[in-house]
Amino acid sequence: MKRTASKGKPIDLALLPNIEYAHMWLTLDEAAANRIKALRRALERINNTTRLLWLSDSDQKTLAVTSNELGPLREGLLRAALAELFSVEDVLRLDLKELGRNDSVLKMNDTTLPHVHFIRELRTHELHLYHSPLTGFQRDLLWGNMAKPKEARPIKIELWRLDGVTVQSFGKLDNAKYYTADEQQAMVDWFNDAQGQWGVQEVVLRVANGYAEALGAHYFPMSTPSATTETHRDRNHHPKRKT
């Protein structure tokens, strides 16, 4: 389903990703990062987003807090990650000016990716309207390289879900008016299903990567990752956890 969103940009619900594995290390995809390295401030903010996601998924010892402080800090770090990703829209103009380019800023809701639109609005949802708690849950997964599934080993891991994100809560956002009822339902359902399987940090990571890829395709359409980079990434990419 396609429709006209804000500023006349189409979004396609068919582009909502089907997440089949999660990253053990929450980092930006190397190929996406290399393609937008000229947008140095934007790249820095997206990398910061992934690091904040990693911290929000970290344990009490890593964060050096008391057990009572751990939950609120995780939630605050997640909000910080959402804010840092959104701020890419602001620093892009500085990067483009530095490059001597007159291109307009590609905002998250200028892309065709509905999950990128949704996470953009989730920032407003969590920073201005709600204060949703993170709830932990455990899953039995396999840890290993996707290219070598027989070598994967079983692990039990704790993941985090952001509670209270509903069609009703999304509908209170100012920008909800740009989305039909069916689209709001589809995006909320996708988000809650994905975070219920892989954790909210993985979902936001996918959006950070998706936005980075969209920036690369928009500003550097003729640039593609080198064969060397791709081979290195395939050989040494971080292990995945999967079902």
Q: Which residue has the higher pLDDT, 231 or 167?
A: 167
Q: Which residue has the higher pLDDT, 140 or 10?
A: 140
Q: How confident is the model at residue 233 (pLDDT cuts 50, 70, 90)?
A: very low
- pLDDT, residue 223, reads 72
Q: What is the pLDDT of residues 65-115, one digit of tens each?
A: 999 999 999 999 999 999 999 999 999 999 999 999 999 999 999 999 999
Q: Is 230 exposed, middle or buried (0-12, 13-18, 19+ CB in 10 A)?
A: middle
Whether residue 230 is contained in a domain is answered as yes
Q: What is the pLDDT of residues 124-157, one digit of tens each?
A: 999 999 999 999 999 998 888 888 888 889 989 9
- pLDDT, residue 225, reads 55
pLDDT for 3 beyond 60: no
- pLDDT, residue 238, reads 40
**Backbone dihedral angles phi then psi of residue 132, each to the nearest 5 degrees:** -75, 140
Q: Which residue has the higher pLDDT, 217 or 23?
A: 217
Whether residue 236 is contained in a domain is answered as yes
- pLDDT, residue 224, reads 67
- For residue 100, the enclosing domain spans 12-242
Whether residue 1 is contained in a domain is answered as no
Contact in structure between 6 and 186 (CB atoms under 8 Å): no
Average model confidence (pLDDT) for the chain? 89
Looking at the structure of the chain, the number of domains it has is 1
Whether residue 117 is contained in a domain is answered as yes
Whether residue 2 is contained in a domain is answered as no
Q: b/e for 63-100, b at 16 or more Cβ within 10 A?
A: eeeeeeeeeebbbebbbbbbebbbbbbebbeebbeeee
Whether residue 6 is contained in a domain is answered as no
- pLDDT, residue 190, reads 98
Q: How confident is the model at residue 24 (pLDDT cuts 50, 70, 90)?
A: confident
pLDDT for 8 beyond 60: no
Whether residue 4 is contained in a domain is answered as no
Whether residue 114 is contained in a domain is answered as yes
Q: What is the pLDDT of residues 215-230, one digit of tens each?
A: 999 999 987 654 333 3
Q: Which residue has the higher pLDDT, 179 or 5?
A: 179
